[in-house]
Structure 1
Amino acid sequence: MQLEQGLFKLDFSDYHAVLGIPVSADAKVVRKRYLTIARKLHPDSLSTASTADKQRASELLSKWVNPAYEVLSQDKPSTEHQLVLKLKGQTLGRATKPPEVDSEPAKQLIKAPHVDAAYRQAVNALASEQYDKLDSVLQIIGQLSELNMMYLYRTASSAAASQRSGVTPKAQASPTSPTATPAAPPPKSGTAPPPPRRSQSTILDSYINRAQEHEQSQDYGQAVLEMREAIKTYPQSARCHSYLASLYLKTGQVTMARVHAKRALEITPDNELAKTIQTRLDRAGGASGKSGTTAKGSDKSSGGFFGLFGGKKKS
């Protein structure tokens, strides 16, 4: 199935737009929505449809809906996809102005006072008719993709503004958060003063040291998990991103290695490890990268998937 005029060819597949669900949807929502779509596209539901419509429904299900469900319903692929969304949101949040969009729902979301409620309402409205008319499915997916892009921009911009104003986000203020630093009570008379808190660099070193121990034992999965936890606490650490990129490269997850190497270089352009990884990826995968094929063999733009975000529609 060819991409229709007015759709996007971007860096990542927008699986949430394909299923018509918010980017924060959990596994139960993913499965329920998939079953609803699968029933609509099943041959039994299209008994009176034309042969062309039956073929179109079959292609939508096999090339778009099933792959999206396969990623979002499995823990590891879903977690990796969420990480990609998070990094993309951070990139959008650093922009000086909103991304350019063409669909009316996304334009409305730019100025909505309550972004979460407005976003969910807009997604639900589009999803309610997404697969009713097969000839308009791709257009609606494109509108949902723009909504997702604008939502990530709004939430990332809000978080960045809070940091600049000195307001600590709720997640960081949580008592269980690794970055929470509640004030210690004054020492009682005659007792020794409490030991000094560990510095951020010491905490970061402990993450990396544990990851290196797992790496030496060739337990790369645990090493990756350790560094992903580190990035939750230190999202602006080029050291974290470059080391995680090297771990992903060792496990053959080229797409994730490229994402984190790129992020490390955005933070610190002269990061040697990230530059080395980027060079290796460019040399080894340049041909496949140009053709749009990811490490898992799925096509980014021409094989039936939307990219996640990007520029304006082509006329």
Structure 2
Amino acid sequence: MSFKLDRGLFKYDFIDYHAVLCVPVDADIKDIRKRYLKIARRLHPDICVAQSDAEKQLAGELLSKLVNPAYEKLSREKNRTEYIVVLSQMGKRLVQESASMELSTDVAKQLASAPNYDHIYKNAIAKIAETQYDSLQKVQQIIALVSELNLVYIMRSAGKLSTASPLVAQSNIHTTSTVHKAPAPPPSPPTQKEDSAVLQYIRRAQELMATNQLTQARVELQDALKLEPNNSRCHSLIGVVYLKQNLTTTAKVHFDRALQLDPKDQLALEGKRKIEQITGHKPSSAKHTATPNTGGKQPDKSGEGGLFGGLFGGKKK
């Protein structure tokens, strides 16, 4: 069984592990472990109290496909720290999209406008956690609800979501308070604004890739592709990210797309050569391929050899 979640942070192709465990996004490792053990006791096939075989199977799949991966991600300090960084970056970016965002639950709408949002958020999470896995058929709905709360919370925590925000207007909360000063930007062609944003995403992604922060880099490039789906540079860079994460099939999809858009995209060409080396399929032409025993005789004619070396070479892991 596959679990499809399309509300809250899941809507943005982000796996909300905090929502799966129903813990606040700032929960420490001790609280995360305590919560995980409680859920595991509820779902483990050896002690599950489910009445039917179908329910027992569902419990096992919830544990193996959602709960265990969430705990594995959040219980390791390095992984959790990187994950929180990505959440913080998402919160700042999503504030800019709040005008088109809709909240589907009353508690999320209340959280969007309440001045004491931190208290309301943590109380709501604790309350939901009490019964999150009681009805296995409703677990996905509850996870989606929690993720919507997490979405609002990280936006509020970004320090840019006020009671005059468009998000609150979407929540049917009437307010006559003075709008915080937000002068309209000078008019400019949409393409220029879009290009500028895409270039910023690309620059940030390249900086993150240089320090091997691949998850954050992928988020930046995914956001860039939402603005400009036919940007060959974005496709080739995200292909590199997937390749470095050993996701060769997904990497090849993006390299192929980059080459459809720009047949001379050197980064995509190099990426496909790397995949051919990994999978054992030799390219039809060895014109640009230097074997390991040649001593690197053939230089990169694209003029971007340093970039290729930085993105594809270097230390693993």
TM-score calculated relative to the size of structure 2: 0.56
- Does 2:250 align with 1:288? yes
Cα pair 1:92 1:156 within 8 Å, conserved: no
More displaced stretch, 133-142 vs 277-286: 277-286
Deviation of 1:104 (Å): 2.4
Q: What corresponds to 2:219 in structure 1? A: 259
Gapped regions of structure 2 (runs ≥ 5): 165-179, 182-199, 243-247, 255-317
Q: Which of 114, 139, 142 is residue 140 of structure 1 equivalent to?
A: 142
- Alpha-carbon distance in structure 2 between the residues aligned to 1:290 and 1:149: 32
Deviation of 1:133 (Å): 1.0
Would you say how many aligned residue pairs link Structure 1 and Structure 2?
Answer: 211
Cα pair 2:18 2:25 within 8 Å, conserved: yes
- Alpha-carbon distance in structure 2 between the residues aligned to 1:141 and 1:239: 32
Distance 1:105 1:159, change over 3 A: closer
Kindly provide the amino acid, as one letter, of the partner of residue 215 in structure 2: T
Q: Percent identity?
A: 43
- Does 2:128 align with 1:126? yes
RMSD across aligned C-alpha pairs, in angstroms? 3.7
- Alpha-carbon distance in structure 2 between the residues aligned to 1:140 and 1:262: 26
The 5 A counterparts of 1:171-186 are none
Distance 1:111 1:26, change over 3 A: same
Cα pair 1:30 1:73 within 8 Å, conserved: yes
Gapped regions of structure 1 (runs ≥ 5): 166-236, 270-274, 293-315
Q: What corresponds to 1:103 in structure 2? A: 105
Q: What corresponds to 1:233 in structure 2? A: none
- Alpha-carbon distance in structure 1 between the residues aligned to 2:45 and 2:98: 48
Q: Which has the higher contact order (CA 8 A, sep 6+)?
A: 1
Q: Which of 231, 247, 253 is residue 210 of structure 2 equivalent to?
A: 247
TM-score calculated relative to the size of structure 1: 0.56
The 5 A counterparts of 1:265-276 are none
Cα pair 2:20 2:143 within 8 Å, conserved: yes
Q: What corresponds to 1:3 in structure 2? A: 3
- Alpha-carbon distance in structure 2 between the residues aligned to 1:277 and 1:256: 17
Task: Classify the secondary structure of the residue corresponding to 1:130.
Answer: coil
Deviation of 1:98 (Å): 7.3
Deviation of 1:254 (Å): 3.9
Deviation of 1:19 (Å): 0.1
Cα pair 1:20 1:141 within 8 Å, conserved: yes
Kindly provide the amino acid, as one letter, of the partner of residue 38 in structure 1: A
